Amino acid sequence: MLIRQFRGEEFINREKEIGFFLNYFKQNPKRVVWVYGPKSTGKTTLIEYIIENYLLEDKSYNVKYINFRRVLISSFDNFIESILEERDENEIQTELNRNYNIFGLFKLEAKTLRKIKENKKNLFNYLLEEFRKEKKKSIFIIDEIQSLQDIYINGNKKLLNEFLNFCVSLTKETHLSHVLILTSNTIFLSEIYSNAKMKVTSDFKLIDHLGYEEIKTWLISKKDLGFRGEDIELIYEYLGGSVAHIKKLLDFRKEYNSLQEQLEEMVEIAENEIDFFIQTNKLSKEDIDRFKFVSQKIMENGYFDNKKYKGYIDIVSKFTEVEILFYDAIKNITKANSRIYVKAFERIV
């Protein structure tokens, strides 16, 4: 197992996943790949690591990455602006002859941009033609795509549908580009998965929390912290393989006398979060009981089987929206978003 440095932070393992994606990109693009998983498992970090350390130096690909979490999208015009960059060509550009770079790859003239905005030209047809002109294969990566929900193109067509059709064209139909779509919203993903057309034109790749051996090797390597075997077991019992939670524990480790005390406080915060959600949403007694039943099953088996127990999807969805539960539409099971919530369930149920 490797522990590398990435952006001044330790980047643990993910060898298998890196291998999976690099191998995937060697094949001809045929389907859209959806990258999903519980909150903060490192989906964005992993993909950005692969882009910066492998894809950008490999001159056989054109790579374009856009993270919609980093831009605010409230309209179609806004969306277009988010994918445009102004070209710096040292030429005197006026509003009318200004050139842009779209996705940092393709040139877009001001007059074409105007036509697109006025709905006289279809943005995605234009982009498809531009992708077609490229000699190299492209890799197109989109993070937080659910931000495009509820945006309409000039008041009628749904931007998200048009965008997804475009992604299917790039992969299944024309094989011009790989398309990787990341999302942390699994309710959104389950809607995609229930759409027959998207299901057959997509692959789904789960990025889960790390496992015990990875956490153990990582924590042992941090010799200055002096963790003993039983400390590591205790941390894993409370925080599982959630790197984000363990990093938080390490950052504040010195503030607490004992490890147990710190971990118990983290559980209490998770418990309060659940309690706050129940109260602010005024969940009925019946809903609370159904949530407790789901929690009980997760405590017993590690997951709740949505195929076996029908009629729970609404309560699962509610808790998934606020990232307490994680609904895996592809496997049709529900888990806690991370181990700390299972410890909180033990107090609630």
Ligand X SMILES: Nc1ncnc2c1ncn2[C@@H]1O[C@H](COP(=O)(O)OP(=O)(O)OP(=O)(O)O)[C@@H](O)[C@H]1O
Hey, how many other C-beta atoms are within 10 angstroms of the C-beta on 296? 15
Site for ligand X in 5-34 (CB under 6 A): 9-12, 14
Hey, how many other C-beta atoms are within 10 angstroms of the C-beta on 51? 17
What 3-state DSSP class applies to 100?
Answer: strand
Q: Which of 84, 110, 244, 283 binds ligand X (CB under 6 A)?
A: 244
Please name every residue paired with 205 in a beta bridge, in sequence order, or none if there are none: 35
42: amino acid identity, one letter: G
9 binds, among Mg ion, ligand X, none (CB under 5 to 8 A by kind): ligand X
Q: Which is nearer to Mg ion, 142 or 333 (CB)?
A: 142
Query: Considering the rule CB under 6 A, would residue 184 count as an interface residue with ligand X?
Result: yes
From the list 36-44, 82-90, 267-275, 339-347, the region that binds Mg ion by CB under 5 A is 36-44
Query: Considering the rule CB under 5 A, would residue 44 count as an interface residue with Mg ion?
Result: yes
Compute the Cα dihedral for 20, 22, 26, 30 and give only its sign.
Answer: positive
Rg, the chain, Cα only:
23
- Alpha-carbon separation of residue 263 from 42, 56, 203, 254 (angstroms): 22, 40, 37, 13
267 binds, among Mg ion, ligand X, none (CB under 5 to 8 A by kind): none
**Overall size of the chain counted in residues:** 349
Give the chain's count of helices (H) and strands (E). 15, 15
From the list 4-12, 15-23, 42-50, 216-224, the region that binds Mg ion by CB under 5 A is 42-50
Q: How many amino acids of this chain bind ligand X (CB under 6 A)?
A: 15
Q: Which of 102, 130, 98 is nearest to 111 (CA)?
A: 98
Phi-psi region of 42 (alpha: psi -120 to 50; beta: other; left: phi over 0): left
Shortest reach from residue 309's CB to ligand X, in Å: 26
Query: Considering the rule CB under 6 A, would residue 216 count as an interface residue with ligand X?
Result: no
From the list 38-46, 77-85, 231-239, 292-300, the region that binds ligand X by CB under 6 A is 38-46
Q: Which of 25, 29, 33, 40 binds ligand X (CB under 6 A)?
A: 40
137 binds, among ligand X, Mg ion, none (CB under 5 to 8 A by kind): none
Query: Considering the rule CB under 6 A, would residue 98 count as an interface residue with ligand X?
Result: no
Which residues contribute to the site for Mg ion (CB under 5 A)?
A: 43-44
Which residues contribute to the site for ligand X (CB under 6 A)?
A: 9-12, 14, 39-45, 184, 243-244
